[in-house]
């Protein structure tokens, strides 16, 4: 049977040549390309802007970055059918795949014209979309107790979709969910059913009885021993794993249901009813069990870790990202560098207003834990400044609506205040982009291009903002105020929000 192969190549019919990547025959030719003119670029890494550039977006990728890309002429695509093509043929006798070449008639080419959508940046800053490195879309009650006792799956799901849309419209084009939800919302966003960022879900929290992953009230029987289910367990938000075998079961279950990485609770926390933050919840053997399964899937483990003992134990046993990491010091920094590990920290933990968070203010136990934790973490900021670890942005909001907007805005401000705008911006873009890519070549759902950078070949996740965020962090939403900040609907200085080559906001 005669077969044909369509190979697309593109060129600007004026002075600048541009080539589209080869695509499969069933891919559609883009209806238009987008050309940003006259922008100053923060590329996600550099400490200064690239001044006066143009950026060409083709489909969902950044195709070209250059000065003075022409706006006249026609953007054309050469559509070629026939000719020589390569075919991959699996062998019936062994596991190898062989490549052969087949000539399929004479090559014929015709030109297809494509519209150019020109956006005049007028000297504004073009930068990568923001990345939440540690968020909780489905943890959208006022506290863990509220989720456990008052919310059903319908309400949590609807609120998570609304929270995802709000995140995208605040410039967060990628979101690493740090536990409490599966892949359902991610799939719905990818299919265009609802609007939101790219999501890297961690599935259910894995933790032992009485840990930061245990949402039960004090009268609910132990799930592992008695088979009783808490609401968090029934909703797939948490998994009580009290042994090596149960940890492996929980990790495998999460991966089967679409998780891109595994989240374990290796120490206690603050915004919870029971577990003291000093708790070292998982042994070295138990941590290795989670890492073993993640390695088998080509992915990694992220771990909630407060105490230095827990942090060191996680690093020594293969954990790749440390969450919170409040007792970070020189010993931790050295081991992180040796292991190629990352950390994310919610800087609002160092705010005098921390106690106003409802999850803490509504619980005397949490309020006491917060006070002792803040007293123990006093050297954190100076140590981060000194050792400069791979540090990702972490807003960690368990809540909904304006409360999470205000917390995230204040988190951006505090990151810049403590470490400088450049450090904060890298944590929001390129560092978190590297971190989500740890999910590997197989499980990473977004593997076509880089995330968190403005580079040729990267995903077209782009913000266009008034002003220079390297000098003024408020242009991407940073706010000195937290609970007293006025309610807002979007960020006025964020003029364009593009995700995956599609514009979701344009107020130019």
Q: Which DSSP string corresponds to 220-251?
A: SPPHHHH----HHHHTTSEEE--SHHHHHHHH
Q: 379-430: per-residue pLDDT in tens?
A: 999 999 999 999 999 999 988 889 999 999 999 999 999 999 999 999 999 9
Residue 36 lies in a domain: yes
Q: Does residue 199 surpass a pLDDT of 80? A: yes
**Helix (H), strand (E) at residue 430:** helix 430-436
Full domain range(s) for residue 25: 7-123
- One-letter-per-residue 3-state SS of 373-418: HHHHCCCHHHHHHHHCCCEEECCCCCCCCHHHHHHHHHHHHHHHHH
Residue 209 lies in a domain: yes
Tally of structural domains, the chain = 2
What percent of the chain shows pLDDT beyond 90? 64
- Alpha carbons 500 and 395: distance in angstroms, whole number: 23
Burial class (CB in 10 A: 0-12, 13-18, 19+), 278: middle
For 235-317, strand residue ranges (E) read: 238-240, 262-265, 301-305
- Other beta carbons within 10 angstroms of residue 282's beta carbon come to 27
**Helix (H), strand (E) at residue 337:** helix 330-339
Q: Compute the Cα dihedral for 221, 223, 226, 230 and give only its sign.
A: positive
Do 377 and 334 fall into the same domain? Answer: yes
Select from 72, 101, 123 the last residue of a domain.
123
Task: Look at residues 293, 457, 306 and name the one whose alpha carbon lies nearest to residue 373.
Answer: 306
- Alpha carbons 435 and 489: distance in angstroms, whole number: 30
- Higher-confidence position of 110 and 179: 179
Predicted TM-score (pTM) of the model is 0.86
Mean pLDDT of 24-44: 82
Is residue 296 within 8 A of residue 336, CB to CB? The reply is no
Residue 208 belongs to domain with CATH number: 3.20.20.140
Q: 43-92: per-residue pLDDT in tens?
A: 999 999 999 999 999 999 999 999 999 886 556 655 555 566 666 656 55
- Higher-confidence position of 278 and 91: 278
Is residue 449 within 8 A of residue 457, CB to CB? The reply is yes
Residue 319 lies in a domain: yes
Lowest mean pLDDT, pick from 10-14, 164-168, 336-340: 10-14
- In the Cβ-directed half-sphere of 341, how many Cα atoms lie within 13 Å? 27
Q: Does residue 13 surpass a pLDDT of 50? A: no
pLDDT (0 to 100) of residue 434:
98
Do 114 and 139 fall into the same domain? Answer: no
Do 117 and 161 fall into the same domain? Answer: no
pLDDT (0 to 100) of residue 25:
38
Report CA-CA distances (Å) from 19 to 12, 78, 104, 248, 320.
8, 10, 24, 46, 37
pLDDT (0 to 100) of residue 12:
35
Do 304 and 428 fall into the same domain? Answer: yes
Do 297 and 439 fall into the same domain? Answer: yes
Residue 51 lies in a domain: yes
When pLDDT is cut at 50, 70 and 90, the band that residue 207 belongs to is: confident
Residue 263 lies in a domain: yes
Do 139 and 93 fall into the same domain? Answer: no
Do 116 and 208 fall into the same domain? Answer: no
Residue 499 lies in a domain: no
Is residue 231 within 8 A of residue 153, CB to CB? The reply is no
Task: Look at residues 477, 468, 240, 435 and name the one whose alpha carbon lies nearest to residue 345.
Answer: 435
- Alpha carbons 304 and 481: distance in angstroms, whole number: 27
Burial class (CB in 10 A: 0-12, 13-18, 19+), 58: buried
Q: Does residue 122 surpass a pLDDT of 70? A: yes
Mean pLDDT of 196-211: 90
Do 71 and 143 fall into the same domain? Answer: no
Of these ranges, 75-79, 176-180, 370-374, the one predicted with the greatest mean pLDDT is: 176-180
Do 143 and 19 fall into the same domain? Answer: no
Report CA-CA distances (Å) from 88 to 98, 100, 101, 333.
6, 7, 9, 47
- Other beta carbons within 10 angstroms of residue 406's beta carbon come to 21
CA max distance for the chain? 78
Residue 226 lies in a domain: yes
Do 81 and 138 fall into the same domain? Answer: no
Is residue 196 within 8 A of residue 221, CB to CB? The reply is no
Do 108 and 134 fall into the same domain? Answer: no
């Amino acid at each position: 049977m005669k077969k044909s192969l369509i190979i697309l190549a593109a060129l600007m019919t004026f002075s600048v040549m541009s080539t589209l990547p080869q695509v499969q025959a069933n891919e559609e030719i883009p209806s238009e390309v987008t050309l940003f003119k006259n922008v100053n670029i923060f590329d996600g890494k550099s400490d200064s802007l690239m001044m006066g550039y143009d950026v060409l977006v083709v489909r969902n990728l950044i195709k070209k970055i250059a000065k003075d890309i022409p706006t006249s002429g026609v953007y054309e695509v050469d559509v070629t059918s026939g000719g020589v093509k390569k075919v991959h043929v699996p062998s019936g006798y062994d596991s190898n795949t062989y490549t052969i070449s087949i000539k399929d008639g004479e090559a014929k080419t015709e030109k297809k014209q494509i519209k150019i959508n020109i956006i005049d940046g007028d000297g504004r800053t073009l930068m990568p979309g923001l990345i939440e490195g540690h968020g909780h879309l489905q943890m959208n009650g006022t506290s863990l107790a509220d989720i456990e006792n008052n919310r059903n799956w319908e309400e949590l799901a609807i609120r998570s979709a609304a929270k995802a849309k709000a995140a995208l419209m605040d410039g967060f084009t990628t979101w690493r969910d740090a536990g409490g939800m599966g892949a359902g919302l991610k799939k719905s966003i990818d299919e265009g059913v609802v609007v939101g960022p790219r999501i890297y879900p961690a599935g259910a929290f894995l933790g032992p009885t009485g840990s930061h992953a245990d949402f039960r009230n004090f009268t609910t029987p132990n799930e592992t021993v008695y088979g009783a289910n808490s609401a968090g367990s029934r909703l797939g938000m948490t998994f009580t794993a009290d042994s090596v075998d149960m940890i492996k079961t929980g990790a495998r279950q999460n991966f089967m249901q679409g998780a891109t990485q595994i989240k374990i609770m290796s120490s206690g926390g603050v915004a919870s009813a029971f577990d003291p933050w000093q708790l070292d919840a998982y042994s070295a053997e138990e941590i290795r069990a989670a890492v073993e399964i993640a390695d088998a899937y080509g992915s990694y483990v992220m771990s909630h870790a407060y105490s230095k003992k827990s942090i060191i134990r996680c690093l020594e046993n293969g954990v790749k990202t440390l969450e919170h990491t409040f007792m970070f010091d020189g010993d931790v920094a050295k081991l992180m560098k040796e292991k190629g590990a990352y950390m994310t920290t919610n800087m609002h933990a160092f705010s005098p207003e921390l106690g106003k968070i409802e999850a803490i203010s509504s619980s005397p136990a949490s309020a006491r834990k917060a006070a002792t934790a803040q007293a123990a973490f006093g050297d954190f900021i100076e140590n981060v400044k000194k050792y400069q670890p791979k540090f990702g942005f972490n807003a960690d909001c368990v809540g909904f609506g304006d409360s999470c907007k205000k917390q995230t805005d204040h988190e951006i401000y505090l990151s810049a205040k403590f470490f400088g705008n450049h450090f904060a911006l890298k944590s929001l873009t390129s560092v978190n982009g590297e971190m989500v890519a740890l999910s590997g070549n197989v499980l990473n759902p977004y593997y076509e291009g880089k995330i968190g950078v403005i580079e040729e070949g990267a995903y077209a996740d782009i913000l266009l903002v008034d002003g220079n965020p390297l000098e003024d962090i408020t242009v991407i939403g940073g706010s000195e105020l937290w609970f007293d900040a006025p309610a807002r609907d979007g960020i006025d200085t964020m003029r364009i929000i593009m995700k995956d080559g599609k514009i979701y906001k344009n107020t130019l």
